A = this chain, B = another copy of it.
Amino acid sequence: MTINQEFRDVLREEGMRHTWQRQAVWDEIKSNDEHRDADDIFICLKQAGYPISRATVYRTIDVLVSHGLVRKLDIGEGRMRLEHKLDSHHHDHLICENCGRIIEFISPEIEALQSKISSAHGFALTHHVHQLFGRCLSYPDCDYYRSQNR
Interface string of A113-144 (1 = CB under 8 A from B): 11001100111111111111111111100000
Residue of chain B at shortest CB distance from A127: B133
Copies held by the complex: 2
CB distance from A107 to the nearest CB of B (A): 6
Among the listed B127, B133, B138, which residue makes an inter-chain contact with A126, where contact means beta carbons less than 8 Å apart? B133
Q: How far is it, in angstroms, between the C-alpha of A87 and the C-alpha of B53 when the chains are bound? A: 50
| Contact call A132/B105, Cβ cutoff below 8 A | no
Assuming the contacts A76-B129, A132-B114, asked whether A123 and B109 have C-beta atoms less than 8 A apart, the reply is no
CB pair A138 B122 closer than 8 Å: yes
- Residues of A in contact, count (CB < 8 Å): 33
Q: Which residues of A contact B (CB under 8 A)?
A: 74, 76, 94, 96-97, 103, 105, 107, 109-110, 113-114, 117-118, 121-139
For A93, the closest partner residue in chain B by CB is: B129
The reply to whether B129 and A135 form a contact with Cβ atoms under 8 Å apart is no
